[in-house]
Amino acid sequence: MNRTQHYRAFAITVVWTLGLLWLGSVVHATESSLACPDWPTCYGSWVPEMTGGVFWEHLHRLVAGGLILFFLGATYLVWKEGPRFPWVLTASVLGVLLLLVQAVFGGLTVIFRLPDALSTTHLGLAFLFLGLATALALVSAPWWDRGVGPAPGARRLLRQGALVATALAFLQSVLGAGVRHTDAGVACPDVPLCLGQWIPPLQNPLVLLHFTHRVVGVALLVLVLWLGHQAFWKSGTSLLRRLGVAAAVVVVAQVLLGFFSVYFRLAVTPVSLHTLLGALLLTLLVAMTGLTWAPAPAEGRSRGAEEAGSASRESVAPGARVPGQGGSG
């Protein structure tokens, strides 16, 4: 059965969500979060004048609304075309509900004037949806059955490492959301030290939050570099090797951008790119984790041969003699 269309829709959803996360970071970094003081309209209008902070805030709303509509279309394609795994349709419906809840939280952050808990939850839900969309795109890909999974001997190690790295990346993303929305970004105004010390006084909640974000970031850096090394040398598949290298490069760049964000006092460019690379790292790690359930190269070749043989037999007209089969001469 042709699954190309809903796979493409899921892949576009992942890219769209990455762009939306970047745009949301720009909104916050430019202090445009309350440029539209009402919701869902902006100054009572659906088409406000797109100038200043209104441009960024209303553009963010338009892109988010477009994502909801597009993912509804993707879910329809899943229902129409039939997914490889039955749970994909259920997950797609849950994704629609998650987007709607996330949109409501976005509205509440405006109505209640950016309370920390609501704003952090709004961003955390966005990362959760990104992970879900990545998983749906992965298992719907036409090459899933073509031996892209790791070799059997490396599968368990890679799966455990990727699961831990993915969980830690999500935790780091939520911590980063907390740092952003509590204005703890410069609670430690120096790098790599914090208040002139490797371990600063942690009585201040903002310093504690910022320092925890740094510590988890270093732990994630070490873990992803190790995972990338294992994927490159032991996975046995080119796709996992490429993802491992990409994750290693992104996590190094992510840490450097975190330092630059502090050094340049939360300038728009490093802060927004820091958020974008954090989201991209989560995407890569979710993909690596999912691939540990994909068929290994030998399994993919065997399954491909079986499908080719089945297709060949079905193409023969009923009652026709297949070459090589017994028959009267």
Report how far residue 120's alpha carbon sits from residue 109's, in angstroms, rounded to the nearest whole number. Answer: 9
Residue count of the chain, please give it. 329
Cβ atoms of residues 128 and 270 within 8 Å: no
Mean pLDDT, residues 270-290 taken together: 97
Looking from the CA of 328 toward its CB, the CA atoms found within 13 Å total 0
Q: What is the pLDDT of residue 329?
A: 33
Cβ atoms of residues 146 and 187 within 8 Å: no
Q: Does the CA dihedral 169-101-13-11 come out positive or negative?
A: positive
Q: What is the pLDDT of residue 3?
A: 63
Q: State the burial class of residue 265 (Cβ atoms within 10 Å of its Cβ: 0-12, 13-18, 19+).
A: exposed
Q: What is the pLDDT of residue 286?
A: 98
| Residue 2 binned pLDDT confidence (cut-offs 50, 70, 90) | low
Give the pLDDT confidence of 291-324 residue by residue, as tens digits: 999 998 765 454 544 544 444 444 444 444 444 4
Q: What is the pLDDT of residue 301?
A: 52
SS3 47: coil
Q: What is the pLDDT of residue 296?
A: 86
